[in-house]
Structure 1
Amino acid sequence: MADLSTLARPYAKAAFDYANENGVVNEWEDFLFIASTIVNDHSFHSLLDNPAVSAEHKSAALVDLYNTQVADASDSAFKQLLGATQGHKAQGTVSYPKASTALSNFVVQLSEQERLALLPEVYEHYRRHKATSLKQLDAYVTSAYPLTDAQREMLQTRLAASLNASVVIHESVDASLLAGATIKVGDKIIDDSMRGKLQQLKTQLTA
């Protein structure tokens, strides 16, 4: 049997092609991200695995959760999660539309084919299609301390210039780095941390 990633590819491509042609790429990406989070939840997974629950009910439950917890909610755990991935600090100032008819139909098709569990893989492939289309790269930055707004802006500008692409920064903090940061883009890793420099010095002294 084909693995989940292989099964998800045609759905992701169809989703991105539609969204790109209709100018709703970000809207679909937001929905797929939250939908992926929902189907990974243990309680919802139990619903997916229940043969007594119809495909129509499963798809309706998923869309309803998005509409009530993201589109209609002034603030919610899902909305905070969505905002955090996009760098929004003031959640109340960010609004998201309800799932469109096309999105709802896409979920229905997945449900009828018993493919809702593929949504996390569909989301990842969708992001890759978007990145390729926009020449967008993900930069994973791990710093000893949280980045300031000025540091983040400077880092993003420099990376975009050196990589000749739009760069999305994903941040994490690791106090064991002592100072500085490590940056990972694709297979490339830049270690500008104090821990890395100390390790290099140790290697040179013992060589």
Structure 2
Amino acid sequence: MAQKTTVARPYADAAFQLAQAAGALAGWADGLAMAAAVVSDSRVATVLGHPRVDDGRKADLVLDVCGEALDGQQRNFVRLLVQRDRIGVLPEISHQYDRLRAEYEKTLNAELTTAHPIDDAVRDRLAEALSQRLARTVSLDTQLDESLIGGAVIRAGDLVIDGSVRGRLNRLTSALSR
């Protein structure tokens, strides 16, 4: 995992710089996500990993499946990754690109997991409070997990706020066992 991250970083940086220069951050994010999904398909991965398939055919395969979703620069980027035998790290490149974009745009996707459904007003207040605390625009996705018993858990990047009953019981158990 660390090796893929290390290999992907300069390519993600280069893609971000190209996208920024072209004013196409969203377009590049969509294109990279599409190409990453294609590369992640097991059938495509088999062809890409086959030693007898030449680089041109590998690149053409990915580009044909992506169709018009990629512009000229993105198509060249895919060809470069194939030539340098880095096409397999495209999903990690896409992930790192998304992180660079979110940092640049000062946005953050957070996850709110609750034991019971909450209404939109409560969710919006939580998103606003997180936005103020983190100095970023927070998009809050909600999920239900009845095993929490009550309360909620918020995951925003590296920040985890566990206000669930299950979390409190776990902390109490840990404290009592010391």
- TM-score of the alignment, normalized to the shorter chain, above 0.5: yes
Cα distance, 1:141 vs structure 2: 2.4
Q: Which residue of 1 aligns with 2:15?
A: 15
Q: Which residue of 2 aligns with 1:101?
A: 72
| Aligned pairs (5 A) from 1:159-178 | 159-178=130-149
Q: Which residue of 2 aligns with 1:24?
A: 24
Q: Which residue of 2 aligns with 1:126?
A: 97
Cα distance, 1:146 vs structure 2: 5.3
Distance 1:30 1:7 in 2: 21
The one-letter amino acid paired with 1:53 is V
Which of 101, 112, 130 aligns to 2:83? It is 112
Cα distance, 1:200 vs structure 2: 5.2
Q: Which residue of 2 aligns with 1:46?
A: 46
Cα distance, 1:64 vs structure 2: 2.5
The two structures, once aligned, show a CA RMSD in angstroms of 2.6
Distance 1:130 1:16 in 2: 7
C-alpha distance 108-206 of structure 1, shift in aligned 2 (>3 A):
closer
Distance 2:145 2:174 in 1: 22
Cα distance, 1:155 vs structure 2: 2.5
Cα displacement string for residues 71-98 of structure 1 (whole angstroms, at most 9, x for unaligned residues): 6xxxxxxxxxxxxxxxxxxxxxxxxxx3
C-alpha distance 52-172 of structure 1, shift in aligned 2 (>3 A):
farther
Question: Which of the pair is proportionally richer in helix?
Answer: 2
State whether structure 2 residue 127 is matched by structure 1 residue 156.
yes
Distance 1:18 1:123 in 2: 14
Unaligned runs of 5+ in 2: none
Cα distance, 1:203 vs structure 2: 6.6
Cα distance, 1:66 vs structure 2: 2.5
Cα distance, 1:152 vs structure 2: 3.6
- Return 137-146 or 58-67, whichever deviates more: 137-146
- TM-score by structure 1 length? 0.73
Q: Secondary structure at the match of 1:52?
A: coil
Cα displacement string for residues 93-127 of structure 1 (whole angstroms, at most 9, x for unaligned residues): xxxxx311111111111111111101011112212
Distance 1:170 1:157 in 2: 13
Distance 2:51 2:119 in 1: 50
Q: Secondary structure at the match of 2:160?
A: strand
The one-letter amino acid paired with 2:132 is A
- TM-score by structure 2 length? 0.84
Distance 1:203 1:118 in 2: 40
Distance 2:116 2:43 in 1: 36
Unaligned runs of 5+ in 1: 72-97
The one-letter amino acid paired with 1:41 is D
